[in-house]
Structure 1
């Protein structure tokens, strides 16, 4: 049987790009004070792109990113729709890193009955994608596509490519959802992980398929494992995982998040940049989120 523990454990040994956050404790980064955003500056997440993960620690709401990883997003929709994740353990959890689940065996060696997926470590971006730039390091741009933090080649490069697009990839900030895999690039299946803290050495090496909009505190409260491997004794579990679109309307949460094309976002960006100073990164941006509708069921 494969072990999806190995690939992520190896990744932890790869030196990460140095940032001020890498050495930070498991707390929210310093940021400018936020106030409630006007309704006009919020967008509603479509139910087809909202994954509702109920756990023994609380509810986590993840916005899917089909632009970045269409095959992995479709797999997550399929497995959630089939109830595959219900009752599965958070079998591997490492503080200041991530929480991993999606293994029916609970050992790191299990998977669904569906075929493995090809890696979607990068994607092609064009002007039709709602990209909001927040920084422009030499030869690149960093920003958000909806709620997903990304790094990309500059827009100017689109004029020089045959398809009018440029390469982009998800950035492993806190709350980003990634797909676990074996040592082969095309071996992701059903196991996934949610980031507890930033870990840039995973960028372009593990498929990014979404980002937590609500419940990062829940992800950070999931029981941590032991030793370098992070395997958990008496782990927490997922109680129910569904796409919001598959829930009855009366049971469906409604999530609104700040529109990155709004004036409010530019204000938030400048406030955050001023608060962080030279240490500013896209991972420092916390988009205001409003959740209404049905509450999570009892664990």
Structure 2
């Protein structure tokens, strides 16, 4: 009798209507949104030319958008030294393939600096609600986003009303292209040496001051000869200038980068988040630029 009842139940299940069968199946996963196409005219922004460092290397020209909102003292130092010609001819003396390319030492060995005083660290900065921060992920206790082209993480914005200055602590993320300041054992020993990231390296975060990001020419940075130290002949920065200071004949007519507040960037974030899921990282988000 038990076998008969089980068989009858099986027949009844097989005879279920198609609608009932479909209701019992798990819902199909939604297709991730496609990668966005070319940015439209409204998706671009023009960086402040006084905040763009132009590095002419023997491997090609590199454009770094500096971010005084994050590290004002370090950006000011880079500008002062660039305008004084301090960086012209300096070698990339320490270059690690999946890490970074270091330069900015007058001795080209990692032992020197400028005649200016060392800088106090700017590992963290205070993020205000009015700052140009564009959120790309909210983890409840923290958030990630972008200030201009620089990826940033901060405390939860819900903490801002509870702080004395109405701001929250934030720090830059060391994604490919990020520019950071080299230092010694002392946290406040940065002076003139800096490095450009060839790949992401999260362990530098909150330990080294980030002051900008390569917006054009990362392929040149990745082409620099490697070594620790680099064997002669070393690749060099032939000339380093501020975009605003360059004569019209040598200055690009167009320097622009995708705006993180625009529609294209939002679509790119949605595409990357859907594709990567729990492994999502702002370092995987494209930030297109155009120089011509």
Indicate whether the TM-score tops 0.5: yes
Equivalent residue number for residue 280 of structure 1:
280
Cα distance in 2, alignment partners of residues 286 and 179 from structure 1: 24
Equivalent residue number for residue 17 of structure 2:
none
Give the aligned length: 258
Q: In the TM superposition, what whole-angstrom CA distance separates every residue of 1:55-84 from its partner, at most 9, and x where no partner exists?
A: 010011000000110000000001111111
Equivalent residue number for residue 229 of structure 2:
231
Retained in 2: the 8 A contact 1:55–1:240?
A: yes
Deviation at 1:258, TM superposition (A): 1.1
Deviation at 1:41, TM superposition (A): 1.2
Mark the structure with the bigger radius of gyration: 2
SS of corresponding position for 1:248:
coil
SS of corresponding position for 1:120:
coil
Given the superposition, is the C-alpha separation of residues 135 and 188 from structure 1 closer, same or farther in structure 2, using an over 3 Å criterion?
same
Deviation at 1:175, TM superposition (A): 0.4
Q: Which runs of 5+ in 1 are unaligned?
A: 1-31, 293-299
TM-score (norm 2): 0.86
CA RMSD after TM alignment: 1.3
Deviation at 1:89, TM superposition (A): 0.3
Deviation at 1:275, TM superposition (A): 2.5
The 5-angstrom pairing of residues 133-212 of structure 1 reads 133-212=135-214
Cα distance in 2, alignment partners of residues 250 and 34 from structure 1: 35
Cα distance in 2, alignment partners of residues 203 and 232 from structure 1: 25
Equivalent residue number for residue 106 of structure 2:
104
Cα distance in 1, alignment partners of residues 144 and 167 from structure 2: 16
Cα distance in 2, alignment partners of residues 209 and 256 from structure 1: 19
Deviation at 1:207, TM superposition (A): 0.3
- Which moves more between the two structures, 61-70 or 265-274? 265-274
Q: 1:61 aligns with which of 60, 63, 68?
A: 63
Cα distance in 2, alignment partners of residues 160 and 73 from structure 1: 30
Cα distance in 1, alignment partners of residues 203 and 140 from structure 2: 19
Retained in 1: the 8 A contact 2:36–2:264?
A: no
Equivalent residue number for residue 239 of structure 2:
240
Runs of 4+ in 1 over 6 A off after TM superposition: none
Cα distance in 2, alignment partners of residues 259 and 179 from structure 1: 25
Cα distance in 1, alignment partners of residues 169 and 49 from structure 2: 28
Retained in 1: the 8 A contact 2:62–2:217?
A: yes
Cα distance in 1, alignment partners of residues 51 and 154 from structure 2: 22
Retained in 2: the 8 A contact 1:36–1:288?
A: no
SS of corresponding position for 2:116:
coil
Deviation at 1:138, TM superposition (A): 4.1
